[in-house]
Amino acid sequence: MNKFEKIAVIGGGSWATAIVKMLSENCTTIGWYMRSIYAVEHIKRNKHNPNYLSSAELHPEQLDLTNNINEVVEKYDVLIFAIPSAFLNSELEKLEASLENKIIFSAIKGIVPESGLIVGEHFHTKYNISYEDIGVIAGPCHAEEVAMERLSYLTIACQDEKKAKNLSNKIKSRYIKTKVSDDIFGTEYSAMLKNIYAIAAGIAHGLGYGDNFQSVLMSNAIREMKRYIKKVHRMKRNINNSAYLGDLLVTGYSVFSRNRMFGNMIGKGYTVKSAMLEMNMVAEGYYATKSAYKINKENGAKTPIIDAVHSILYEKKEAKDVFDKLTNMLD
């Protein structure tokens, strides 16, 4: 049997729900692990996730729902992880079932704090998964627009092109267009970095900077992203492609962007803790900032925007003072 006939999603949030919705267009059965037994039972009865993207209609007859991660890993061959990076390690610690011979795709946009690695590197290093069996689902795409069936684009990256195409065929539909890539490192690092730049865009908005400055900030951000990714993984890539620049723009500008929202609150004077409590959602860029800053200490790319966000979030410097200095470093 084709392994892509047995796909499961691991996670219960917005992206997990959006991926399940996309897969339901082309898959007969989809495994789905989420921690909350309440959410599992609610979806079976009411056909929607009670906590995330509740407007998205789900089809329980297609879903093999469970709150036991080992059941999913044992039964399914292709596992799509859509858990916030800060919680991935704690979920994997529950595993008793083996990941041997599994194909892993990550829809996670961040660095695993415990290892300091992007998700693909984490699975390769800690679980001995071959890079040929690791893939990335990249944007530009917001889960909220998938729920509304607005036209969206995804890049499916894997060093094994056949696997990328197989998943691409399972996800694409009348409102989802897909392309494939072999750049698993670049797409995953860019997905992590764009959340940091979205926080910067939010901080700028919260401080009262206008659209003119935002455009300069985003222009500098894509060039900074190129320098950063070139240092961590050199290969031929076009940073202006949708998986890189497109994902940066949608995350930096969209009203659906949690990282921009978080940054906006920081710019308005909220503490990190109070902003997270009010949002009641995970802003991946907060955790990514610390890891990205640390990684770059070893690589030495010129990253004034990452440095600025880090100094505000982790060194508790005044956002206004930091951005006053940043404006003189951009062009």
Residue 285's Cβ-side half-sphere holds a number of Cα atoms within 13 Å equal to: 32
Domain end call among 182, 200, 223: 182
Domain end call among 182, 207, 225: 182
| 208 lies in some domain | yes
Specify the pLDDT at position 110: 84
List the strands of the sheet with 7-10, edge to edge: 63-66, 30-33, 7-10, 78-81, 103-106, 134-138, 152-158, 176-181
How far is the C-alpha of 71 from the C-alpha of 9, rounded, in Å? 12
| 256 lies in some domain | yes
In the three-class reduction of DSSP (H, G, I as helix; E, B as strand; rest coil), residue 187 is classed as helix
Per-residue pLDDT of the chain (331 residues; tens, 9 = 90+): 689 999 999 999 999 999 999 999 999 999 999 999 999 999 999 999 999 999 899 999 999 999 999 999 999 999 999 998 889 999 999 999 999 999 999 999 888 988 888 999 999 999 999 999 999 999 888 888 998 999 999 999 999 999 999 999 999 999 999 999 999 999 999 999 999 999 999 999 999 999 999 999 999 999 999 999 999 888 888 888 888 898 899 889 888 888 999 999 999 999 988 998 888 777 788 989 998 999 999 889 999 999 999 999 999 999 999 999 999 999 9
| Residues 170 and 44 both lie in one domain | yes
| Residues 160 and 223 both lie in one domain | no
Specify the pLDDT at position 142: 86
Specify the pLDDT at position 1: 60
| 331 lies in some domain | no
| Residues 125 and 176 both lie in one domain | yes
Q: Are 236 and 264 in contact (CB under 8 A)?
A: no
The residue range of the domain holding 195 is: 186-326
Domain end call among 182, 200, 232: 182
Instruction: Give the CATH number of the domain where residue 225 resides.
Output: 1.10.1040.10
